[in-house]
Structure formats: C-alpha cells, structure tokens
Amino acid sequence: MRIVLLYGGDSAEHDISVLTAASILKHLDYKKHQVQPVFIDREGQWIAGELLEEYSLSEDSILYLEASDQQHFYRQGEAEISQGLAVVPTDVLTKDSLAFPALHGPNGEDGTIQGLFEALNVPYTGAGVLASAAGMDKIISKQLFQQAQIPQVPFVALTSYQYETERSEVIARIEGQLVYPVFIKPANMGSSVGITQAQDRDALLQGLETAFHYDTRVVVEQGIEAREIEVAVLGNEEVQVSQPGEIVKDQGFYDYEEKYINNSIEMAIPADLPEESAQAIQAYAKKAYLAIDGSGLTRCDFFVTHNMDIYINEVNTMPGFTQFSMYPSLWAASGLSYEDLLEKLLKLALERFNKKQGLANQ
C-alpha cells in the first residue's frame, strides 16, 4: 500500500506535526508499505519527497523541508538528504494511495483536509469530516457533550464581533456566570496554543486579546482544582477505550512552551484512580466519541477533582503522536505497540472507506 504522509501545515501547530510525522515515518512497516512524505509548508505549498521503500534516516532525524529558490530539500540539521518537488494534491492523492494526515490544528484536523480526501475518493486515517470539525471546535463539541449529558465545567462562548461591539456586556456575562480563575481558549486550536489563565479582569482582557489572535470564536471556562486524566479511543463502529493516564503536574497550568519546548510534562499510566472512577471516565469517553461521530482515533481529556467529580475537558481527533506522546503511550500500556497501533489505524481507514464505497454502490 502507498501511504501519503502529510505533515507540517500552515497552522500554529506546524512544528508539532513535524515531530509526529518523524515518529510515524520511523515506525511504519516498510515490508508492507511504501511511504510518500508530503510536507506542507507554512504558506500552504505541498512538497513531495521521494517515495520511501525503507527507513533510511538516522535515529534522531527530524524531517524538515526547506525552500531555496525553486529547489526544495529535506534537511537533517544542515545536511541535505534528498530533493523534493512542489506538487498539487492530485499529484500524490491518487486512487492507489491511502492518506495519513499527521496534521494538527486548523486545515489539518478540523475537517478541511478530510473534505479534500472525500472529494478525491481517497481512504484516509483518523476521523471523518463531521467528527474532525466537531471535535476541533470547542464550542460545538461542548454543545454536543451537553446533549449527550456528559458533565463539563461551566463555560461562556463568544465571538470577536460580540467582544468588539458589546465588550462591557460580555465581561459582565463572564464574571456573572464564572468565578476567577478562568481559562480563555480559541475555539479551534489545540496543543494549548493561544490558551491563557486569568485570575482577574485585567488578565481576562489580555487573555481574550490573545485568544482572538488565533480565532474569531472563543470559549471561557471555569477554572477548577483538578487532576488531568486522558484516555485513548480507537475504532470505527466497534470502539475500544484504553486505561486512563494522568498528566502529572508540578504547576497549575502547562502552556504550549512547557508542553512542547521545555518538555516538562510527565505521565502516569495507569492513573491512580478508584476502579469505579476509571470505568466512569472510559464510559464518558466512549459516549463523547459517539457524540461527535468519531472514527479511527481520538484522545478524550477529563478533569477529576479531589471529590472524584468527573468533567470532560475536550476531545482531540489527531492527538500528539510521537512514540512518547500520551495517546500511543496509553495503548502501549494497554498492550498495543506503536507499530501495531499504526497498522490498526491503516486497517480502520480501509475498513471505513470500503464500507462507504459499498453503501454508495447499493
């Protein structure tokens, strides 16, 4: 099978996508597959490397593609690896391919590129258009969780237009429904990009300005003292849920820099939870997955208070996917290796595609 691995992208999560792709490239089974790496630069240009029939890069290699005049090159540090070519999507997304979007953030996991795959009738890993869009949008997903009766912390949703035209009313609504501290989040970003914590009104105003830099829609959530528990979900109609893991914190809030630059996150797998609480989290995760019409994979994140109250935080339909990230680590602890997890995702992609083709031909 020819796998088209798409990575990079024009979102603020570009660098995380590169790390994810480097790990996937290293662990795919080249006895079964050929791999076509396609780098999407920050301007949206697609650049295809040479077709890989074996993994020939050094152990610590991270793939970047850099442009120099009209030439494009893979680079490992300063050493040129191989030449790449600028392409359009239809050059690489052909009938004999399977797309693996290792893309995070807008234009990667929000249903946009999934719509392209659907239009080209190409199988692809991960969530479909609806689940990607709903899972990415924190406001829409919260509304779906409300309908599914999954507990979540109080929140206020607002648009940039509301903030610009009704600022005093918006602030009054936030302070009337929530108490400090609060968290301010862009509706359509992940990996803690654009998220801030506010302990007072001045910090709230600054946090809103930051969040609106990334999106025209923002959600403000009630801050609570809680542990951060995550579970991995895998499957199409038949859904599997991993044991819970915990983000072990030595400070109140980890922003993008702490997570991905300083690498100060520690994980405890399995999380130290009563069996009843662990099972409740797994049940809520499955419920959330079905609520967004999930397929392929999703990571579901929860808050658990000292009283064992459980609140869903968000879902991520394309979570961080290096071999050390929480999602594959949860499955590794549950007995599914990184390599086998990749194969499972490819099989799920073909299973969903073939089923849809069968329905279309009835």
What domains, with CATH codes, occur in the chain? Answer: 2-124 (3.40.50.20), 154-222 (3.30.1490.20), 226-355 (3.30.470.20)
Q: Say whether 47 counts as a known binding-site residue.
A: no
Distance CA 319, CA 106 (A): 13
Q: Say whether 227 counts as a known binding-site residue.
A: yes
pLDDT of residue 246 exceeding 50, the answer is: yes
Q: Say whether 209 counts as a known binding-site residue.
A: no
CA distance readout (Å), 132 to 26, 107, 153, 302: 26, 10, 22, 19
Structure confidence at residue 263 (pLDDT): 52
Structure confidence at residue 335 (pLDDT): 93
Residue predicted with more confidence, 82 or 88 = 88
CA distance readout (Å), 109 to 138, 193, 208, 257: 13, 15, 23, 21
In the set 13, 109, 230, 246, the catalytic residue is 13
Residue predicted with more confidence, 97 or 82 = 97
Q: Say whether 109 counts as a known binding-site residue.
A: no
∠ CA 328-334-336, rounded to 5°? 60
pLDDT of residue 227 exceeding 90, the answer is: yes
13 is catalytic: yes
Task: Please provide the average confidence, as pLDDT, over all residues in the chain.
Answer: 88
Neighbours of 132 (CB within 10 A): 28
Mean pLDDT of all residues in 169-174: 96
Q: Say whether 355 counts as a known binding-site residue.
A: no
Distance CA 331, CA 10 (A): 29
Q: Which residues pair with 31 in a beta bridge?
A: none
What's the chain's Rg over C-alpha atoms?
A: 21
Mean pLDDT of all residues in 320-336: 92
230 is catalytic: no
Distance CA 275, CA 5 (A): 39
In the structure, what pLDDT confidence band is assigned to residue 49 with cuts at 50, 70 and 90?
Answer: confident
In the set 61, 97, 141, 191, the catalytic residue is 191
In the set 11, 242, 295, 325, the catalytic residue is 325
In the structure, what pLDDT confidence band is assigned to residue 42 with cuts at 50, 70 and 90?
Answer: confident
Q: Say whether 191 counts as a known binding-site residue.
A: yes
CA distance readout (Å), 149 to 133, 183, 236, 237: 20, 22, 22, 21
Q: Say whether 100 counts as a known binding-site residue.
A: no
Structure confidence at residue 56 (pLDDT): 67
Q: Say whether 184 counts as a known binding-site residue.
A: yes
Q: CA nearest 65: which of 46, 90, 89, 91?
A: 46
Mean pLDDT of all residues in 236-260: 75
